[in-house]
Structures are given as structure tokens and as C-alpha cells.
């Protein structure tokens, strides 16, 4: 049998080299992914431990999007392909997922215990009308120190105060060192008081002779008449229909009335 040695030279050899280079480059070069716009998301299912000292809780990540397969870790440990974490006691855990493109997502998971004497006293500072100067300060009692604190399902912190808050209702979780927790809801108020601010506005602009003061009219000299009509009052002062026979209220007075109503329209 005869053997033939085939040798390539000239332009044909150059084309083969270019083809080989392109083929290897396309197969080997990683695809660049912008993780900031990746649709990778992680949620979870969980089982709470049966007591403050038990370690029979579990967390199971539920991942969608991104570029699988995924890897997981809990509290910054080494990433692994196992997607179930067991033998967990009460506490706050940071669960992380990473996809094949290197994109990562994190979620905070609170495992609670059904038994605890943990409680807390919450104090607030007013935010100011349309401002963000509010604060919540937490003083825990019972339980086992040190404590962690979480506002509106955000990340836990060891600091027992939250600042820079606007007015509204907030949920506060307090977690002790055994993982036992308690949850309270507290309101941060605007701080607009009826007696000091709202009543003078009404007396100067609305509760006047011929309008909301005389017999036969709805008198705004009676607080209950104001309180039950707050929605109508806001609509009218914002549209300029109230005060009826006077100039439109300035924006500061309008904002003050709205903030007072948002705080609950209290006779304070």
C-alpha cells in the first residue's frame, strides 16, 4: 500500500490557520455578561426551627433567570451546587446564589423560634412635614444579647436605631443571639400638631363670619366637624375652592394640613 504525504503551502495554508484560530476563539472566549441587568433572581422556602435552641430549620433557594447551573452559599461560606441548607437554628442568614456567568444575588432569611421572652420598647422622632428627619430607637428586653435589628424586611444590623426616615408605618424585627425574635409596627409621624399649626390656619382662613362659623353653616370651631371632613377639606384647598371668599392658601399651609391628616387627623 502506498502512503502519500500531503503538504500545504501558500494561500491554502494561511486560510487553514485563520479558520483554526477563529474556531478556537469562538469556542474558548467567555461571553461578557452585564450582571447589573441580569434577570437572575433568588427567593426561598424555609422551615422554622422548633425552639430557640433547636437546629432543625432549613432553607431551600428558589432561583430563576440568569445562566444556570447555579451555585449557592450561606453566610459567605464556600459556594456549592447543593441547593438545600439544613440543621439550622433560629437567626438571620444571608443566602447567596451565583450563576455560570458569575452574576450573584443575595437574600436575607429570618428563621424564627416559637418560644421567647424577648420584647422591645420603640421610641420615635418626628420626620417633619415632607421631610426625612424621622428616627426609630429600639430598646430590647429579655432574650439573649447581642441583638440584631431589621427594618421593613431589610438587611439586619447590630445598630439599634434607624435614622433618615420619612413619615409612615414601619415594621421592626428584633432578633436575639439564639435567633428568637419579636416584631413590632410603629408609626413615624410628620409632627404637625392641630393646636399649634392647623387650628390657627383654619381660624384665620376658614372659620370666619359668613363661612364655617355662623349659625346654619358647618362650624369649623368644632373639632369633630373638621375631623370627619378631612378628605373634602384637602380636595378643596388643593383645588383652590377653599377658602371660599379668600385667597388661596399658601403651599406651606396646604402641606401642613395634608401632613396632619396623614398622621391621623388627631386633636393634638
Query: What one-character-per-residue DSSP string does 132-168 give?
Result: --EEEEEEEESS-SS-EEEETT---BS-SEEEEEPSE
Distance CA 64, CA 190 (A): 40
In the structure grid, which three cell numbers stand for residue 179, read together? 435567633
Does residue 208 contact residue 221 with C-beta atoms inside 8 Å? Answer: no
At residue 83, the 3 state secondary structure works out as coil
User: Which stretches of the chain are DSSP H helices?
Assistant: 10-28, 199-205, 223-227, 230-239, 251-262
DSSP 177-195: TTS-EEEEEEEEP----II
Distance CA 244, CA 217 (A): 13
Distance CA 89, CA 91 (A): 6
Partners of 187 in the β-ladder = 169
Q: Per-residue pLDDT for the chain (268 aa), expressed as one digit of tens each?
A: 444 444 445 544 444 444 444 444 444 444 567 888 889 999 999 999 888 778 899 999 999 999 989 999 988 888 999 889 999 987 778 899 999 988 999 898 888 777 778 889 999 999 999 999 999 999 999 888 999 999 998 889 999 999 999 999 999 999 888 778 888 889 999 999 999 999 999 888 877 766 786 656 788 888 888 888 889 899 989 988 888 777 889 999 999 999 999 998 988 9
Q: In residues, how long is the chain?
A: 268
Residue 76: name the closest of 34, 48, 104, 46 by CA.
104
Pairing of strands 181-188, 134-141: unpaired
What is the pTM for the complete model shown? 0.57
Distance CA 112, CA 106 (A): 19
pLDDT at 214: 64
Residues in contact with 112: Cβ distance below 8 Å, sequence separation at least 6, in sequence order: 48, 90, 179, 180, 181
Distance CA 94, CA 119 (A): 24
Partners of 173 in the β-ladder = 150, 183
Amino acid at each position: 500500500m502506498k502512503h502519500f504525504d500531503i503538504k500545504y503551502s501558500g494561500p491554502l495554508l494561511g486560510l487553514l490557520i485563520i479558520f483554526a484560530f477563529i474556531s478556537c476563539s469562538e469556542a474558548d472566549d467567555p461571553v461578557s455578561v452585564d450582571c447589573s441587568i441580569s434577570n437572575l433572581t433568588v427567593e426561598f422556602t424555609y422551615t422554622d426551627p422548633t425552639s430557640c435552641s433547636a437546629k432543625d430549620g432549613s432553607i431551600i433557594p428558589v432561583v430563576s433567570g440568569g445562566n444556570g447551573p447555579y451555585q449557592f452559599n450561606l453566610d459567605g461560606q464556600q459556594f456549592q451546587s447543593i441547593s438545600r441548607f439544613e440543621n439550622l437554628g433560629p437567626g438571620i442568614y444571608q443566602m447567596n446564589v451565583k450563576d455560570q456567568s458569575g452574576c450573584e444575588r443575595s437574600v436575607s432569611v429570618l428563621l424564627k423560634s416559637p418560644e421567647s421572652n424577648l420584647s422591645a420598647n420603640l421610641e420615635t422622632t418626628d420626620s417633619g412635614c415632607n421631610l426625612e428627619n424621622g428616627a426609630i430607637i429600639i430598646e430590647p428586653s429579655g432574650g439573649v444579647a447581642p441583638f440584631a435589628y431589621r427594618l421593613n424586611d431589610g438587611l439586619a444590623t447590630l445598630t439599634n436605631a434607624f435614622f433618615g426616615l420619612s413619615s409612615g408605618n414601619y415594621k421592626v424585627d428584633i432578633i436575639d443571639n439564639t435567633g428568637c425574635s419579636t416584631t413590632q409596627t410603629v408609626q413615624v409621624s410628620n409632627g404637625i400638631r392641630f393646636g399649634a399649626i392647623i387650628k390657627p390656619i383654619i381660624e384665620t382662613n376658614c372659620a370666619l363670619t359668613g363661612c364655617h362659623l355662623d349659625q346654619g353653616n358647618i362650624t369649623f370651631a368644632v373639632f369633630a366637624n373638621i375631623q370627619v371632613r378631612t378628605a373634602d377639606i384637602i380636595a378643596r384647598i388643593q383645588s383652590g375652592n377653599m377658602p371660599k371668599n379668600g385667597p388661596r392658601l399658601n403651599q406651606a399651609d396646604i402641606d401642613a394640613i395634608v401632613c396632619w391628616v396623614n398622621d391621623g387627623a388627631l386633636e393634638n
